[in-house]
Structure 1
Amino acid sequence: MSAIDTAIRAAAASISLDAVTKSYGSGVKVIPSLSAELRAGEFTVVLGPSGCGKSTLLHMIAGLEHVSGGKIRIGEREVQDLEPKRRGCAMVFQNYALYPHMSVFDNIAYSLRVAGMPKSQRLERVRGVAKMLGLADLLNRKPGQLSGGQRQRVAIGRAIVREPGVLLFDEPLSNLDAQLRHDMRVELAELHRRIRATTVFVTHDQVEAMTLADRILILNKGQIEQFDTPKAIYRNPASVFVAKFIGSPPMNILSATGDGRVLTLGDGQVVANSSHLGPCQLGIRPEDILVDAGDGTITGDVAFREDLGSHSVVAVKVGMETIRVATPFGADVDESPTIRLRFPPTRTHIFDPETGKAIAAGTENLTP
């Protein structure tokens, strides 16, 4: 482990958000009230649709946005009233924000030079970061001579050369093409495993969230819908919003009614045994639905099929609703217009029809 790895690990600090609010003008609340604990050394992804407040939250942590109310602690310090440079954070922006007239070396070293670090120490620190990021042979180039991925690595190098306690990313991969996004995700994951910096990464891309995060904080209209590990969020979504936001295709959500014994779909088909009483929303992921399952099945009409190579997605009309069924590569799906399906009880979810919040996960097997 190099000196800079050790220094960043040692500097990693927790982030505490205590009833943080953000308002613009009179009555325009972007974040009504938000509380969360982000652990030291953890990679936290803030995920949500456009306009949900995720970048605003990141900017408040960095000090680029004023906090309307509440407290932000980094480590043991309250920082909501401190200038950005005094918070111990470093930020990587969506547009790289590199100085085009400076070399890669000078871009990375800029903050150290401004801080008055001696030249010999700057040289050593920058060379260490450049080696870590695969930029050692590019230090004399200008940003205009680099690819998008290389420019992004320079931006990351400029952030971590300061050995920050907190590393912030504001949708850093959105300007890259699909292959570069994949490559940079791998590089970011490897970098985090190496330096273990406290990282907050904002994105609207669920793939980035699922592949990079230790935990994902899902925002909806400035409020936390769920904050948990990728696996827990995927398997046990806390709400319909989360269930439909995570997954491709997203979770199927069907209207159902329980009489205390069974759940019945809108077209009258009984889908599962359940003690639930009253209306609900029944959720199941496309890949969890069994096709031609024999006893205890429901039937639907095939609307269309999508062959995606590794798997197929079949759209099935059940009553007035359409669900999607993902079948694995090589699965033999009947070409007839009618298809029989079964929802495994351990893979179903029940949500409140009014609030959208999860009521229960799992139903019971139908009696043959």
Structure 2
Amino acid sequence: MNAIDPAIHVAAANIRLDGVTKSYGKMPIIPNLDVEFRAGEFTVVLGPSGCGKSTLMQMIAGLERVSGGRIVIDGREVQELEPKERGCAMVFQNYALYPHMTVFDNIAYSLKIAGMTKAERRVRVELVAKMLGLTEYLGRKPSQLSGGQRQRVAIGRAIVREPSVLLFDEPLSNLDAQLRHDTRVELAELHRRIGATTVFVTHDQVEAMTLADRILILNKGEIEQYDTPKAIYHNPASVFVARFIGSPPMNILPVSGDGTVLRLSDGQAVAECRLKGSFQLGIRPEDIAVYTTTNASALRADVRYHEDLGSHSILAADLSGTMVRITTPFGSQAPDSNVLLLSCPQQRLHLFDAVTGRAIAGVFTAATKEKK
């Protein structure tokens, strides 16, 4: 890890939302939110379209007014302050660059408005341009740049002010797959170098898992889980999280418990369990083992299709009326028949309430332990 860059070094601020609500008329977007973003951390706000993540970002920035509650940045209430008074800088999905200005002038614009001298502006812009690999493009217009270069200009315009909070609203959505990957690496490096508190909104789980110190998962304006990427992947707090994180996502199977074992709808016993009633059982595709020889205790499933992705394969199979996906590593032999014999290791299973979808902890001895 690189040390924080002394040239562009900010005083990272803690962000706290206390009972924040947002409604449009009678329609609640965020019912009641209490959350804290730690100073200096890279937090990713993740969720499907319409879950309230961009609204949350815009309320922190001051582009949307809260309907209720408090937003506290670095110990100061800001919900009634104008955006320019909050110490935040925001990078948008569409870059929002001035087309008639050069790269230098786009980056320097906020410094000019703030009254900084021309000499001071030049020093600051050249430092940022060097950091972002834009030095040779300072004289160009945005139309002469690639999508990735424009995004770096937008980031440069944000960090040149040395804000205590950096806000990113789906900044990589307009980039192709390879460029998204490269820009993710640059963003992670940038965060380590400047040390600002960073809040990054996305619907892309890969961005969340690779960039975040912690991930906040929203569902209809409410928090499903707020934890490290590793904890969220291996210990999802709900069926929603389990299905949202992972590619392919976690398999969810309806099961019933008789106080001894959990059974699938066709009666196959899948795990020992002392609970009674109806539940939802989760297991990740990579945690399902495929038997290559006959085994009396194996679960039987019917193969529906097989995807060979080079590095691994994905098998889709009908298990007791539910479609499950199994990932197998490179070199694994594809099944010769249409019937799969499966094993679900008990220490890899997750149990969820059938009604609320919330995780039930401590049911399986090792289910709550993270993989090593």
TM-score of the superposition, structure 1-length normalised?
0.96
- Could you tell me how far apart the structure 1 residues matched to 2:307 and 2:348 are? 23
- The runs of at least 4 consecutive aligned structure 1 residues that moved more than 6 Å come to none
- What amino acid does structure 1 have at the position aligned with 2:355? E
Query: Offset at 1:362?
Result: 5.8
Query: Offset at 1:38?
Result: 0.4
Matches within 5 A, 1:288-299: 288-292=287-291, 294=295, 296-299=297-300
Given the superposition, is the C-alpha separation of residues 162 and 295 from structure 1 closer, same or farther in structure 2, using an over 3 Å criterion? farther
Matched, 1:118 2:117: yes
Matched, 1:342 2:318: no
Give the share of equivalent positions with the same residue, in percent: 69
Matched, 1:91 2:90: yes
Could you say what secondary structure the match of 1:58 adopts?
A: helix
Query: Offset at 1:4?
Result: 3.0
Q: In the alignment, what sits opposite 1:37? A: 36
- Could you tell me how far apart the structure 1 residues matched to 2:192 and 2:125 are? 20
Residue deviations 1:11-40 (CA, integer Å, cap 9, x gap): 210100111000001x20000000111000
Are the counterparts in 1 of residues 316 and 323 from structure 2 also a CA contact under 8 Å? yes
Query: Offset at 1:82?
Result: 0.4
Query: Offset at 1:119?
Result: 1.1
Q: In the alignment, what sits opposite 2:169? A: 170
Given the superposition, is the C-alpha separation of residues 190 and 87 from structure 1 closer, same or farther in structure 2, using an over 3 Å criterion? same
Q: In the alignment, what sits opposite 2:257? A: 258
- What amino acid does structure 2 have at the position aligned with 1:157? G
Matched, 1:352 2:367: no
- Could you tell me how far apart the structure 1 residues matched to 2:275 and 2:138 are? 64
- Could you tell me how far apart the structure 2 residues matched to 1:15 and 1:24 are? 24
Q: In the alignment, what sits opposite 1:13? A: 13
Query: Offset at 1:363?
Result: 3.0
- What amino acid does structure 2 have at the position aligned with 1:4? A
Are the counterparts in 1 of residues 305 and 316 from structure 2 also a CA contact under 8 Å? yes
Matches within 5 A, 1:308-347: 308-347=309-348
Are the counterparts in 2 of residues 348 and 361 from structure 1 also a CA contact under 8 Å? no
Supply the RMSD in Å over aligned alpha carbons. Answer: 1.3
Are the counterparts in 2 of residues 346 and 362 from structure 1 also a CA contact under 8 Å? no
Are the counterparts in 2 of residues 257 and 277 from structure 1 also a CA contact under 8 Å? yes
Are the counterparts in 1 of residues 5 and 193 from structure 2 also a CA contact under 8 Å? no
Query: Offset at 1:260?
Result: 1.3
Query: Offset at 1:332?
Result: 2.0
Matches within 5 A, 1:156-167: 156-167=155-166
Could you say what secondary structure the match of 1:4 adopts?
A: coil
Could you say what secondary structure the match of 2:7 adopts?
A: helix
- Could you tell me how far apart the structure 2 residues matched to 1:134 and 1:342 are? 51
Question: Which runs of no fewer than 5 residues in structure 1 stay unpaired?
Answer: none
Q: In the alignment, what sits opposite 2:107? A: 108
- Could you tell me how far apart the structure 2 residues matched to 1:340 and 1:364 are? 24
Residue deviations 1:300-329 (CA, integer Å, cap 9, x gap): 111111111111110111121111111011
Matched, 1:75 2:74: yes
Are the counterparts in 1 of residues 5 and 194 from structure 2 also a CA contact under 8 Å? no
Are the counterparts in 2 of residues 4 and 163 from structure 1 also a CA contact under 8 Å? no
Q: In the alignment, what sits opposite 2:240? A: 241
Query: Offset at 1:176?
Result: 0.6
Could you say what secondary structure the match of 1:356 adopts?
A: coil
Given the superposition, is the C-alpha separation of residues 300 and 263 from structure 1 closer, same or farther in structure 2, using an over 3 Å criterion? same
Matches within 5 A, 1:126-141: 126-141=125-140
Residue deviations 1:216-273 (CA, integer Å, cap 9, x gap): 0000000000000000000000000000000000000000011111000001000011
Q: In the alignment, what sits opposite 2:211? A: 212
Query: Offset at 1:295?
Result: 5.6
Matched, 1:198 2:201: no
Are the counterparts in 2 of residues 273 and 364 from structure 1 also a CA contact under 8 Å? no
Query: Offset at 1:49?
Result: 0.3
- What amino acid does structure 1 have at the position aligned with 2:314? V
- Could you tell me how far apart the structure 1 residues matched to 2:39 and 2:266 are? 51
Give the aligned length.
361
TM-score of the superposition, structure 2-length normalised?
0.95
Could you say what secondary structure the match of 1:19 adopts?
A: strand
- Could you tell me how far apart the structure 2 residues matched to 1:13 and 1:306 are? 47
